[in-house]
């Protein structure tokens, strides 16, 4: 029961995160009362310079073996193992709901348990690579996204500082010529957007980016993309580009979400309006457009206690709407974590688990070809002789 409760808490966190959704869906006063910290902001002491040398500071990293949640694969999933050369940096979404602090302690058991679950479901599409790195960080509590108090921005800035430090260690540790994949969801994507602006755009690292997947947080085509230094992915085999989407079943009612964006700058300082929010289509690999459910090679449908799931082909279509959202047809049966308005925010990545895996493989192949590098080779298992 304790494990099941932890999973439930982790999913409830995401229900109230993502571009200020909860601020407009629920009564503002009640939402703030339930989630916004009443405590004073505590300045976060900087981590030690070598903090991320400690394996305990990573939810996933090479060498963890069976304890690495990013190495998880759905039951029955079969794929030839590939020695993919890319190193993946994944930033998990919010898993901290407490009101007593603006930032999660690095050793908070509930927050870490939820973060591990998110890495299992959301980073696993990238585990063609053995180099998946997902840092622990002192994430901003969910209430920081439900208020315009100055403490909220300070909390997000503090969380970002940890992510940026983890990224520096990641870059210094992986092979110097390794291609890089960036991925995250919700709060994690917000940090990725800023990371690309401050640490990647205009640097040699930019040429190493296979693709960036800041999913579940709006990316402004007018302001964010130019600052991030990479274009939106226009074709399925284009390397060095950005994919981002926010999923709604039909009939979709995104008005609360859109109203929240239109109220003013969010915590990255950019006004998010429908006409300039990037809508990538994970079934086509391009901007906008639509694709039928038959193009969906595998939706990760969670099991009852959310500890695993199975891949279901042809589950949902995908069509970009003029309002800047991704429509997935009739509401699919994914579990009880669907937001009002048919908002499938929690499932942005699981809905397209297999296609995202294939998207990464295509873009990596294109990046390698563009850089005159050999394609990844299959890992050859030793032959066995039947007795």
Per-residue pLDDT of the chain (387 residues; tens, 9 = 90+): 333 333 333 344 444 343 334 434 444 454 555 678 877 888 889 999 999 999 999 999 999 988 999 999 998 787 777 778 999 999 999 998 888 899 999 999 999 999 999 999 999 999 999 899 999 999 999 888 878 788 989 999 999 999 999 999 999 999 999 999 999 999 999 999 999 999 999 999 999 999 999 999 999 999 999 999 999 999 999 999 999 999 999 999 988 777 767 666 676 777 788 889 999 999 999 999 999 999 999 999 988 767 789 999 999 999 999 989 999 999 999 988 888 899 999 999 999 999 999 999 999 999 999 999 987 765 433 332 332
Q: Does 137 map to a domain?
A: yes
Q: Note the pLDDT of residue 63.
A: 92
Q: Does 379 map to a domain?
A: no
Q: Note the pLDDT of residue 9.
A: 36
Q: Note the pLDDT of residue 192.
A: 97
Q: Note the pLDDT of residue 315.
A: 97
Short-list 182, 253, 239, 191, CA closest to 217: 191
Q: Note the pLDDT of residue 325.
A: 96
Q: Does 386 map to a domain?
A: no
Task: Name the domain count of the chain.
Answer: 1
Q: Note the pLDDT of residue 47.
A: 95
Question: Cβ atoms within 10 A of the Cβ of 313, count?
Answer: 12
* Residues of the domain holding 144: 2-370
Q: Note the pLDDT of residue 265.
A: 67
361/375 Cα distance (integer angstroms): 10
Q: Note the pLDDT of residue 68.
A: 96
Q: Note the pLDDT of residue 69.
A: 96
Q: Does 156 map to a domain?
A: yes
Q: Does 385 map to a domain?
A: no
Cβ–Cβ under 8 Å, residues 280 and 245: yes
Q: Does 295 map to a domain?
A: yes
Q: Does 262 map to a domain?
A: yes
Q: Note the pLDDT of residue 114.
A: 92
């Amino acid at each position: 029961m304790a494990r099941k409760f932890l999973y439930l808490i982790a999913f409830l966190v995401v229900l109230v995160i993502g571009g200020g959704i909860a601020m407009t869906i629920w009564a503002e006063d009640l939402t703030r009362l339930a989630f916004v910290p009443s405590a004073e902001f505590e300045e976060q002491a900087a981590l030690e310079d070598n903090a991320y040398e400690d394996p305990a500071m990573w939810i996933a990293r090479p060498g963890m073996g069976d304890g690495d949640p990013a190495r998880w694969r759905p039951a029955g999933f079969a794929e030839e193992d590939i020695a993919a050369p890319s190193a993946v940096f994944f930033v998990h979404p919010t898993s901290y709901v407490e009101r007593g602090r603006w930032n999660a302690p690095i050793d908070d058991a509930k927050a870490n348990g939820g973060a591990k679950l998110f890495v299992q479901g959301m980073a696993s599409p990238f585990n063609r690579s053995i180099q998946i790195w997902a840092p622990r960080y002192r994430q901003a509590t969910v209430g920081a996204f439900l208020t315009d108090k100055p403490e909220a921005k300070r909390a997000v800035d503090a969380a970002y500082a940890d992510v940026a430090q983890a990224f520096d260690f990641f870059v210094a540790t992986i092979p110097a010529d390794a291609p890089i994949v960036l991925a995250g969801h919700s709060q994690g994507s917000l940090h990725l957007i800023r990371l690309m602006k401050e640490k990647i755009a205009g640097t040699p690292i930019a040429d190493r980016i296979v693709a960036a997947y800041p999913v579940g947080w709006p990316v402004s085509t007018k302001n964010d993309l130019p600052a991030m230094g990479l274009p939106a992915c226009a074709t399925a085999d284009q390397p060095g580009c950005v994919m981002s989407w926010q999923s709604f079943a039909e009939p979709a009612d995104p008005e609360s979400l859109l109203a929240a964006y239109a109220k003013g700058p969010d915590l990255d300082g950019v006004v998010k309006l429908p006409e300039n929010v990037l809508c990538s289509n994970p079934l086509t690999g391009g901007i906008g457009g639509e694709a039928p459910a038959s193009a969906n090679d595998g939706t990760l449908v969670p099991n009852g206690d959310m500890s695993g799931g199975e891949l279901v082909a042809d589950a949902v279509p995908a069509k970009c709407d003029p309002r800047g959202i991704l429509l997935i047809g009739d509401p699919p049966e994914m579990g009880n974590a669907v937001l009002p308005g048919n908002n499938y925010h929690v499932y942005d990545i699981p809905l397209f688990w297999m296609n995202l895996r294939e998207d990464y493989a295509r873009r990596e192949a294109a990046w390698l070809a563009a850089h005159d590098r050999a394609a990844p080779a299959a890992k050859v298992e030793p032959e066995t002789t039947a007795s």
